Amino acid sequence: MSGPRALFAIYVVLIAVGLAAAILIGASGR
């Protein structure tokens, strides 16, 4: 995997995980 492609994937995963975690935390009322 090329450098930019790997970084693209890392950023996408990081953002998706962050958004999903925040939505789950909010939805669970924690």
Partner 1 sequence: MRRLARENSLGLVFLALFLVALVLQAVAGHAAYDDEQAAHGEPGISLWTYVSSSAFAVSVMENWQSEYLQFTLFIVLTVWLFQRGSPESKELDARGRESDERQRVGRHAGSDSPWPARRGAGIARALYENSLLVVMGAIWVASWFAQSLTGMVEHNAEQVQHRQPELSWLAYVGSGDFWQRTLENWQSEFLAVGSMAIFAVYLRQRGSPESKPVGAPHDATGVEG
Residues forming the site for partner 1 (CB under 8 A): 3-4, 7, 10-11, 14-15, 18-19, 21-23, 25-27, 29-30
Q: DSSP letter string over 1-30?
A: --HHHHHHHHHHHHHHHHHHHHHHHHHTT-
What minimum distance in Å lies between the beta carbon of 1 and partner 1?
11
What minimum distance in Å lies between the beta carbon of 14 and partner 1?
8
* C-beta atoms surrounding 4 within 10 Å: 8
